[in-house]
Amino acid sequence: MSKKYFFLLFFGLIIFLPLAIYSYFLTPPSVQEARIDTDIQYQGATEGQYSDYVILSAQLTEKESSNPLSDKTVKFILGTQEVSATTNSQGIAQVDIKLSQNSGNYNLLTIFEGDDFYYGSSDTDQFHIKKEDTSVTYTGPLSGKEDSTITLSATLSEADDEIGNLSGKSIRFKLGSLETSATTDSSGKASKNLKLNIAPGTYTLKTEFLGDGYYLPSDTSSSFTVEKKHGGGSGGGGGGGCFIATAAYGSPLEQDVVILRKFRDEYLEKTPAGKEMVELYYKYSPPIAKEISQHSLLKKSTRIILKPVIQIIEEKFFK
């Protein structure tokens, strides 16, 4: 070999060999050797109610050694919802998700997509979304005059603090032979006008939500009095009008309530002052009666207060 070629080879090795070594150590493991297999296992919740938060969790490890992998992105796909989390030092990725889909069974996909060092892996599990519990509360009047128009109203709410979409739900009101429906707004409130074209008397007003794909049904019942068009109540035999006494005694057929109703019909409504007194009573007593009907102590106290009044009425007017 001539000296010329020898020196060219020598200087070539001096220049290019360090570059080759340097390049090798900068090459990622994905090029130097095969990536490492991984395993991901879902460990979180497998069911929850609509609008509630649940915890999705999974652990990512090397497949052969089971060593946890930290700082890796794990993706959770539940129906149309998708969230991601980063693994901690134990290889665990955890995230909260608010369930926004209707009830049913879904595939929950847990995915690590891989990187330059590790192959991706996935896990598939079943997840069940249940309907949320509801409560419907009647908030409208509990009385009205025959043939008048009143506004029925109600509020639909959830059983817990996590609220979903309460708008657009149908609330049905049933009063005797009358029935009407209203649709809730974004706060769950619904109202509808109703003409009281039924006979005077005491009726059960049923307010109900029939449920849908997101919510369970619920209902509530209230006592509602249709008053005579002229004067106060529904007459001596009708059982209506004496709101406070009926609430205190629990029934319009109780003897003390019958006496008060008879006094109203046979004496108070026959004088101008008495009629005015009755009108004021019908205007202001329904909310008081509603409060009394919901507390046993108030019922008992009201009966104690009414008893001497009833005795005086009975002695003075009906003996």
- Does one domain contain both 126 and 43? yes
| Residue 257 counted as domain residue | yes
> Residue 141: left (phi > 0), alpha (psi -120 to 50), or beta?
beta
Domain end (from 101, 130, 159) = 130
Tokens of residue 83, six digits: 């969230």
- Is the pLDDT at 234 greater than 50? The verdict is no
Give the whole-angstrom CA distance, residue 287 versus residue 302: 15
- What is the tally of structural domains in the chain? 3
- Does one domain contain both 136 and 225? yes
Residue with the two structure tokens 């329904």? 286
**How many residues are given for the chain?**
319
**With bands split at pLDDT 50, 70 and 90, how would you rate the model's confidence at 162?**
confident
pLDDT cut 90: percent of the chain above it: 60
Tokens of residue 283, six digits: 């205007």
- Does one domain contain both 176 and 187? yes
| Residue 194 counted as domain residue | yes
Domain end (from 130, 150, 169) = 130
Tell me the sheet residues that pair with 258.
none
| Residue 27 counted as domain residue | no
What's 114's domain CATH number? 2.60.40.10
**With bands split at pLDDT 50, 70 and 90, how would you rate the model's confidence at 2?**
low
Domain end (from 82, 98, 130) = 130
* Alpha carbons within 13 A on the beta-carbon side of 263: 21
Least confident of 79-93, 176-190, 209-223, 241-255: 241-255
- Does one domain contain both 287 and 307? yes
- Does one domain contain both 66 and 116? yes
| Residue 254 counted as domain residue | yes
Give the whole-angstrom CA distance, residue 176 versus residue 167: 27
State pLDDT tens for residues 53-82. Answer: 999 999 999 999 999 999 999 999 999 999
- Is the pLDDT at 6 greater than 60? The verdict is no
| Mean pLDDT score of the chain | 86
pTM given for the model: 0.62
Helix axis angle for 272-293 and 296-317, nearest 10°, is 150
| Residue 182 counted as domain residue | yes
Give the whole-angstrom CA distance, residue 130 versus residue 213: 9
- Does one domain contain both 243 and 212? no
| Residue 316 counted as domain residue | yes
**With bands split at pLDDT 50, 70 and 90, how would you rate the model's confidence at 277?**
confident
Q: Can you give the pLDDT at residue 235?
A: 39
- Does one domain contain both 200 and 287? no
User: β-strand 47-49 against 121-130: which pairing, if any?
Assistant: parallel
Domain enclosing residue 256, as ranges: 233-319
Tokens of residue 140, six digits: 């409208």
- Does one domain contain both 199 and 257? no
- Does one domain contain both 199 and 248? no
| Residue 18 counted as domain residue | no
Q: What is the 3-state secondary structure (H, E, C) of 193-215?
A: EEECCCCCEEEEEEEEECCCCCE
- The CA radius of gyration of the chain, in Å to the nearest whole number, is 38
State pLDDT tens for residues 126-135. Answer: 999 999 999 9
| Residue 12 counted as domain residue | no
Cα separations in angstroms, 314 against 62, 112, 138, 260 = 90, 84, 36, 9
- Does one domain contain both 151 and 120? no
Spell out the residues 6+ positions from residue 64 whose beta carbon is closer than 8 angstroms to its own. 36, 37
> Residue 308: left (phi > 0), alpha (psi -120 to 50), or beta?
alpha
- Does one domain contain both 216 and 251? no
Q: Under DSSP, is residue 68 helix (H, G, I), strand (E, B) or coil? A: strand
